[in-house]
Structure 1
Amino acid sequence: MNRKYIIISCIGVFIIPILINYLLMTWGAWKVYGSADSWLGFLANYSGGIIGGIVAYIIANSQIKQELEFNRQQSIEADRSYVSVQEFKGQFRLPNIQTSFKSRIMLTEDYANYIEGKTNAFLQKETTIFYRIYHFGIPEVILNCKVKIQLKGGASETSTVIKSNIGVIQKEEEVFIPLYLEKQKEVMVDLVEVTYSTIAGEKMYYKYDLVNLKEGYWVLNEDGESVEVFSFPMKNSNWIYPNRLKEEQHV
């Protein structure tokens, strides 16, 4: 309650008994019977029942709103989508990588210029680094997905940024972003940032930080603030892909 309502309530506490005294104890209506004491008792019960009903309604309404908001938040969290980023080395057109029919390779300017006019036989001998992005969770899609990858050349201090407005990503879909740069033989990733919207209306932010070795997810509020969902330190691991190795042996 603001200051205005507090002042009005305090004044009312003192004025109401005075009004009751004048109106009830000094006034009488035609063919209305009963002493002042009986009317005071009736008024106390009558007003008490009304006030009690109003208070019960306010409390019940507040509890219902809290329960609905709790259930809504639980539903949003249960239907929350997450994205994942994986780095791997592969041939330029990924001929030996098992992907879904809807998977895509993003045509960056350097990558498109390199593969233009080259045969598949030639490209199968050349490899580059890709970042694979996909999403997981109960919903089938994520919306308005945007990716930003910050690269740094091997011996250069100059950073290069790859940006892509991917849009919709379906659950079974994979998006491959090549990190090939025409003038740099070696590239290193400093940071990967992904923003997207879930079908529940949440705006999510994902960070894959290779400088500070931290990975995590945040919810972006309408006021621009970010609320951490969870994050964890990144640890290096080495592995191989058996299915891919088997296919590459037949090339």
Structure 2
Amino acid sequence: MYFFLSSLSFNDICLITCSIPKMLVNIGAQDQSISYRGCLFQVCLFLAFGSLESCLLAAMAYERSVAICHPSRYTVIMNPQLCALLFFLSLFITTVHALLHTLMALRLSFCTDLHVAHFFCELAQVIKIAYSDTLINKILLYFVGGLVGGVPLSGIIISYIHIVFSVLRMSSRAKYKAFSTLGSHLCVISLFYGTGFGVYISFVVTDSPRKVAVALVMYSVATQMLNPFIYTLRNRHMKEALKRLNICYLLFCHVSLL
């Protein structure tokens, strides 16, 4: 579990690093330009780490299903070799996925002065502003992208179906303990896929760049920033530290009023 948590945290840092540093540089310099190579590099990194996030969440769902459905065999099934295999297999698939879209974007032709209606280069917007034929790129975007995103989501759903059937056979105390261990993972999955669906729905239903940009910020920044808080708030030592901090703050306010 902690192997996948640390991998997810590292991936969240990398995903945010794809866009935020360049955005801060542009704000500081009052210059919103980006080079052609830099734009394609952003597209490749965002696709790779975004897809890897989905695969890691699926691996974590499988790990939770083994922990709840087969607790006596957990250490045998979830051995270090399997964990490493799942991680590197996910990394290989997502890297190939990102390189495929990036190499296909190289065949597109663009004008000199273009405006991407986002705070970073996103593949759908890059395809949208190309003046050459983009039919193959759009087919790959929806088919391969749907495959890379849909297969991990299907794995998550199947894992939780097994978990639900196993939990229904447990006692009330065991049910509470099982669901308490799943709460954080369910919150992270809901945030990631909920905001992801929101982004692509906003592409379809609205032409407002501002609304699409807000949805993309929630998907690519806010979710990754909230993940550490969601998981650490379940930690007993973290809860005790927050309680002490809250007590100290109340005492400080009381002394200040006196």
Report the TM-score, using the length of structure 2 for normalisation: 0.21
Of Structure 1 and Structure 2, the greater strand share is in 1
Report the TM-score, using the length of structure 1 for normalisation: 0.22
Of Structure 1 and Structure 2, the greater helix share is in 2
Question: Relative contact order (C-alpha < 8 Å, sep 6+): which is higher?
Answer: 2
